[in-house]
Amino acid sequence: MKKLHMKLNWKEIKMVPVYLLTLYFLFVMFTYLKADTAQKMNRPSTYIIIVLWLILTLFSLIEIEKVKLFFVNHAIPYNYVILILSPVASFLVVETMVSNYNLSMFRSYTLYNLIWYVLLYYLMFALIRSCRYTIAICNITVYLVAMLNYFVYLFRGNPILPSDLLAWQTGMRVASGYHVSFTLGFIVSTLIMYFVFVLGYKIEKTVKKPSVVSRIIIIGTFLLFLMLVHHEFFNTNLIQAKIRVIDFFAPKYTYCSYGTAFGFVANVKAMETKEPDGYSALQVQNTLENVPKGKTDVHDGDKPNIIVIMNEAFSDLNLIGDFKTNMDYLPFIHSLSDNTTKGTMYTSVFGGGTSDTEYEFLTGNSMAVMPQNSVPYQQFVTSSRDSLARTLKDQGYYNIAMHPYISSDYKRDIVYPLLGFDEFLSMDDFVNPIRIRNFISDQSSYQKIIEQYETKGKDNPLFVFDVTMQNHGGYSGAQLFDDDDTVRLTDYKDCSGTEQYLSLLRQSDKALQMLVEYFKKQKEHTIILLFGDHQPIAYTEIYNKLAAKGMTQEEELSLKYKVPFILWANYDIEEDDINQISANYLSSYLLQTAGLNGTTYNDYLMNLYDEVPVMNALFYIDKDNIFHSYSENTFYSEDITKYKYVGYNNALDKSGRLSKYYYLP
């Protein structure tokens, strides 16, 4: 029997990457086990992973003469087999790292994901024509991207989106406050990456150098492949056919169902915007440069503190129709009259889509100017933007955004700083709050506003934008409060969900009374504005009881998309009753009421409001209270077209944006 010749290559310089990866693996394993060493060390999977890593490391260190000779003699087929299989491994690395083991996705959508990994490997191979370096570079690159996606999952609960890449600096600042941990999926993914690396490490160079002709052919075929892939994914309805609905609120469900690469590409396509027909930045300039100044009474001295509360699913269901209850569910709000403006505000969403109403209110951009079914917070707020917060900041305000729930919902932790907020308080900033249905109550939320006011100092006026959670959907009908605080419908016995919702409103009313009573006693001028983000799901239950048969479509829409708003001040202001206004106008109206400077865009909006007081994603209402669809040719069509041009320029035109009109001089 011939002697088996082996040698250990542990001193060679080319082993450095192996040592570095091993040190990295030890760090990952240590961090993973540190969380719960006793439990995790008892898992068979932990020992299997460690043993496999040791075997792969020994395989890379030990050189057996016959094995090496085999790799040399079969270099070309071995090299290309490993190269062809590497994109598959990369696909597994990405999905395994975030523990996506959705077999349905693997069965149905592997091809649509794999194409993008093949494209990366194909590009690298066309450029360097080396199997070894192509595998090493692409394998590590994909792993690092997968790791980035993992950390975004860890910190935000959702995967990385195309818009995150444009707001990466803000994202990094947010991520710096989080604690890093690793999962078993992360460990397995790291093992797969190392396995591919070791196989690529064993590749031998082929003797024959690629000719110029072969290089041209490879690059040419890559370019053809690239054009074909781009055409199929971006110039056909392939994505729409395969992904019927992209979940912008929780993108993890899209990625889990269709794969990370395919889900990411679908979101890239969803960010595509199209100029309105006839649009030009010059037309926008002509529209805005001669806008008459809105009526203002600008303060030379004290500026009022401004508290804006977008109350989750807040609505007075009597807007739908009259019904009787055993008690008034909004007694305090109904009693407000002095220094108070009340009115009806139209939103673009129903039963959900909270951030769309936020976006309309803070920016003045109606969802009518945004791509259909888009979510601006998730897709288009990727850099510093104008907003009510920015306009107030330029007048000396300290801006606090508040949401007593998960900070990363709708990417608020990234979006709010870009809109000009100095600080963002989420559920993590509340200590022992009062909870209702496991949501932080309006009472605790408003108490937090008072805390911020009491600690702000006297140098700067305060702006607080509070998005509450107490009344969020999911009305079970269970009695939450004692009989003295439980609202019941006296005419209907089978509307328990509505009764629970109305009982929640009564708690919101009490919380607002507490807040108003506090600021009545304060010397600093303060304005409080409260409005709902959309009608609640409970709307449907009572609507089915109250809606008159034969109601026109306009009447149905009028009911479904309107919510109340209340503006109160602790000093003398002109009282008003606003029959109708839409969310995109309300912040401009607030600035006007507060006697503060607005931008040219604010002035433009208030002038447009006089003619078209309501404009949402679905319809607009003119000053004569007539409903119109955007496809109609009406007396106001020119005004609507101009607004769409202005809104597109402000929200979506990256190269021709006329910033001077959207910021204070």
CATH code for the domain of 597: 3.40.720.10
In a domain, 640, yes or no: no
- For residue 557, pLDDT over 80 is answered with no
In a domain, 530, yes or no: yes
Q: Indicate if 484 and 594 belong to the same structural domain.
A: yes
**pLDDT (mean) for 353-370:** 95
Nearest to 540 by CA among 315, 326, 377, 289: 315
In a domain, 662, yes or no: no
Task: Give φ, ψ of 401 to 5 degrees.
Answer: -95, 145
Q: Output 408 or 593, whichever has higher pLDDT.
A: 593
- Alpha-helical (H) ranges within 553-599 are 553-560, 583-594
Q: Indicate if 610 and 549 belong to the same structural domain.
A: yes
Q: Indicate if 182 and 298 belong to the same structural domain.
A: no
pLDDT in tens, 487-525: 998 887 778 888 999 999 999 999 999 999 999 999 999
Q: If you ran DSSP here, which 8-state letter would residue 218 be given?
A: H
d(Cα 117, Cα 90) in Å, to the nearest integer? 7
Q: Indicate if 352 and 490 belong to the same structural domain.
A: yes
In a domain, 266, yes or no: no
Please give the tally of structural domains in the chain: 2
d(Cα 294, Cα 387) in Å, to the nearest integer? 18
Contact 260, 94 (CB under 8 A): yes
In a domain, 559, yes or no: yes
Nearest to 362 by CA among 394, 320, 401: 401
Beta strands in 297-397 (DSSP E): 305-311, 340-346
Q: Indicate if 305 and 371 belong to the same structural domain.
A: yes
SS3 for 58? helix
Nearest to 248 by CA among 313, 187, 161: 161
Percent composition of the chain: helix, strand, coil (DSSP 3-state, to 5):
55, 10, 35
Q: Indicate if 518 and 600 belong to the same structural domain.
A: yes
pLDDT in tens, 596-630: 999 999 999 999 999 999 999 999 999 999 999 99
Q: Indicate if 430 and 570 belong to the same structural domain.
A: yes
**pLDDT (mean) for 242-259:** 84
In a domain, 131, yes or no: yes
Q: What pLDDT score was predicted for residue 373?
A: 80
**pLDDT (mean) for 257-286:** 91
Q: What pLDDT score was predicted for residue 113?
A: 96
Predicted confidence band at 355 (pLDDT cuts at 50, 70, 90)?
very high
Nearest to 492 by CA among 530, 544, 427, 564: 544
Q: What pLDDT score was predicted for residue 457?
A: 78
Nearest to 357 by CA among 368, 365, 348: 348
d(Cα 452, Cα 77) in Å, to the nearest integer? 68
State pTM to two decimals. 0.82
Which of 220, 242, 264 delimits the end of a domain? 242
Tokens for 181, please give them.
């941990």
Nearest to 508 by CA among 560, 441, 603, 565: 441
Q: Indicate if 180 and 308 belong to the same structural domain.
A: no
In a domain, 368, yes or no: yes
The burial of 129, by beta-carbon neighbours within 10 Å (0-12 exposed, 13-18 middle, 19 or more buried), is given as: middle
**pLDDT (mean) for 474-482:** 88
- For residue 174, pLDDT over 60 is answered with no
Q: If you ran DSSP here, which 8-state letter would residue 72 be given?
A: H
- The letter for the amino acid at 363 is T
Nearest to 390 by CA among 415, 426, 356: 415
The burial of 354, by beta-carbon neighbours within 10 Å (0-12 exposed, 13-18 middle, 19 or more buried), is given as: buried
Q: What pLDDT score was predicted for residue 369?
A: 94
Q: Indicate if 225 and 343 belong to the same structural domain.
A: no
Tokens for 51, please give them.
């043993």
DSSP string, 266-305: HHHHHT---PPTT--HHHHHHHHTTPPPPP----SS---E
Provide the residue range defining the domain that includes 550: 287-321+332-634
Q: Indicate if 179 and 46 belong to the same structural domain.
A: yes
Count of Cβ atoms closer than 10 Å to residue 295 Cβ: 8
3-class SS string, 107-160 = HHHHHHHHHHHHHHHHHHHHHHCCHHHHHHHHHHHHHHHHHHHHHHHHHHCCCC
Kind plus residue range of the DSSP H or E element containing 621: strand 620-621
Q: Are strands 435-436 and 439-440 parallel, antiparallel or unpaired?
A: antiparallel
Sorted by sequence, the CB contacts under 8 Å of residue 95 that are 6+ apart come out as 101, 105, 106, 259, 260
* Chain mean pLDDT for the chain: 88
**pLDDT (mean) for 261-270:** 90
Which of 212, 227, 242 delimits the end of a domain? 242
**pLDDT (mean) for 149-154:** 87
**pLDDT (mean) for 392-410:** 94
Of 145-154, 177-186, 421-430, 570-579, which range is least confident? 177-186
Q: What pLDDT score was predicted for residue 350?
A: 87
Q: What pLDDT score was predicted for residue 71?
A: 67
Number of helices (H), then strands (E), belonging to the chain: the values are 27, 15
In a domain, 353, yes or no: yes
Q: What pLDDT score was predicted for residue 204?
A: 62
Q: Indicate if 531 and 609 belong to the same structural domain.
A: yes
pLDDT in tens, 193-208: 999 998 887 776 655 6
- The letter for the amino acid at 143 is Y
Which of 242, 267, 297 delimits the end of a domain? 242
**pLDDT (mean) for 52-63:** 85
Q: If you ran DSSP here, which 8-state letter would residue 474 be given?
A: -
Q: Indicate if 301 and 227 belong to the same structural domain.
A: no
Q: Output 181 or 51, whichever has higher pLDDT.
A: 51
- For residue 2, pLDDT over 60 is answered with no
Of 89-98, 114-123, 296-305, 333-342, which range is least confident? 296-305
Q: What pLDDT score was predicted for residue 69?
A: 72
Q: What pLDDT score was predicted for residue 1?
A: 47
Q: How many CA atoms lie within 13 A of 374 on its CB side?
A: 27
